[in-house]
Amino acid sequence: MSTRSIPYVLGLLTLSTTLSVGCSDDAPATPADASTADVSPTDANTADVARDTASTDASTADASSDVTSVDASADVSTDASIDAAPDAARDASTDSATDASTDASAPTCVRTRAFVTTSNYMVGGYAIGPFATPSLMVSSAMAPDQDHVPVESGCRVFTLLRGNDALAVLDPSNLPTIARTIPLRTVMGDAGAGSYLVNPYDVEALSATKAYVSQYALSRIAIVDPSRSGAAAVTGTIDLSPVRAGADNDSSGSPEATEMFRVGDRVFVVMQNLASYAPAAAGSVAVIDTRTDTLVDVDPATAGTQAAQLTHRNPVGAVLTPGGRLVTACVGVQPFMPPNNLDGAVTALDTTTLRPVGMPVTETALNGDLQGLVMLDESRGWAVVYRLAAGGARTAHVVAFDLATGTAGATIFSAGDIGGLRVDPSGNVWLLDRTTGAAGVRVFRPDGTQITTAPIATTLPPYGVAFVP
């Protein structure tokens, strides 16, 4: 997560300070997303910040002036595999490895490059380069959507075109060329004016011809064929309404489904359960049997179809560990929504027993509002948190934590704005620094040592990252 998911939350905060007089915000019927990771990803709670992005803080674009030349050899690969996921690999750096380790039929491929999407909330771009010796070459191509999140899943590469309500399947031998586009809005009967009527949040590839796409604004998962283009690529849906929280009774009908993670023949779908953008119940996880494309009832003793329950509200980031722990960053009430309480926590769910494991690490211990995380092993990880100072100024911090003890550790890095974190296949952590005037990608070793001496320039601020063949 992605990366998955943070930028629009931060964009809204910037927007609110810039346009504090004479503004109105008529919220659309369904919220847009905010993750990432991931990272990024744009977090679901900011709902339709995208409607206002054309007038977002112009200072964000100033980061484009902080450009340096990058290694031109970065875009060197002719491997033909592609992706799927914002935060399973998205914000969940270990997702792709988990797919392969839990399914003998899953394709294997060697990931050699970082694929970064960039955005200043008005236009989007790309940067590509090797992660072994971190460097990036900025592409001259512009993205069709400024809210575009990269995903690698099943050795396939995708971008989620969230504002356009579409899924792009990329040509891995010629990134960032789009090989096929799968529109999700009109083909599903959701045609209408505006953006984010579907808001695709994540994609999980099950085979060369089958993938799931979570849809933040709708109460269903789309089933698509990534080998096809257009309306014909959408082959079915899975209804999530049976597992929507009872307290989530707003008119959207959506449980706010975000990231997805595959373990064997099951896919786990993280749901925020928001009513009018505020958490109405604890987060939950829908479980799908990929053999039948149906929901799994995790509690047959209770009437109806039950989802697995998280212990805290509003999961804005999630990671799947190689050992099968689904670790979530639950923010509770967002920092831009009163009251500004530190009511969230990092928690873990065992995907076999569907029960909580480890000790929660609270936002109080982390001293900030959660916006994303990565895991370094089954218990240790880094969280992105935001802190508000007097006068409304905010700062972003990466803080170490340990689920074995429920404690927070050292602060790894601080910045004005962090778009997300992702662990690359070699174990290093990529940080998307969106600080105005100093935007770029920073890379850290697992011990917290920064490899990069300065942010690797991306022209536009980095928005999401996936590691691809």
Highest mean pLDDT among 94-98, 163-167, 187-191, 388-392: 163-167
454-465: average pLDDT: 97
Closest CA to 184 of 224, 145, 148: 224
Q: Look at residue 300 and tell me if it is in a domain.
A: yes
Query: Is residue 43 predicted with pLDDT exceeding 60?
Result: no
Give the integer Cα–Cα distance in Å for 2 and 40: 5
Q: Look at residue 455 and tell me if it is in a domain.
A: yes
Which pLDDT belongs to residue 152? 97
88-93: average pLDDT: 37
Mean pLDDT taken over the chain: 81
- Give residue 380's pLDDT band: very low, low, confident or very high (50, 70, 90): very high
Query: Is residue 5 predicted with pLDDT exceeding 50?
Result: no
Half-sphere exposure of 268 (CA within 13 A, CB side): 32
Tell me the residue range of the domain where 341 lies: 7-468
- 3 with 422: CB under 8 angstroms? yes
How is residue 254 annotated by DSSP? -
How is residue 283 annotated by DSSP? E
> 197-252: per-residue pLDDT in tens?
999 999 999 999 999 999 999 999 999 999 999 989 999 999 999 999 989 988 88
Q: Look at residue 204 and tell me if it is in a domain.
A: yes
Q: Which is more confident, 310 or 103?
A: 310
Which pLDDT belongs to residue 54? 33
Q: Look at residue 157 and tell me if it is in a domain.
A: yes
Query: Is residue 394 predicted with pLDDT exceeding 50?
Result: yes
Q: Look at residue 368 and tell me if it is in a domain.
A: yes
Q: Look at residue 1 and tell me if it is in a domain.
A: no
Q: What is the CATH number of the domain that holds 264?
A: 2.130.10.10
Give the integer Cα–Cα distance in Å for 8 and 49: 6
Structure-token pair, residue 71: 């290694």
- Long-range Cβ pairs for the range 375-379 (8 Å, 24+): 375/92, 375/93, 375/94, 375/319, 375/321, 375/325, 375/327, 375/423, 376/423, 376/427, 376/429, 376/446, 377/321, 378/321, 378/322, 378/323, 378/325, 378/403, 379/403, 379/404
Query: Is residue 275 predicted with pLDDT exceeding 60?
Result: yes
SS3 state at 462: strand
Q: Look at residue 51 and tell me if it is in a domain.
A: yes
Number of folded domains that form the chain: 1
Q: Look at residue 2 and tell me if it is in a domain.
A: no
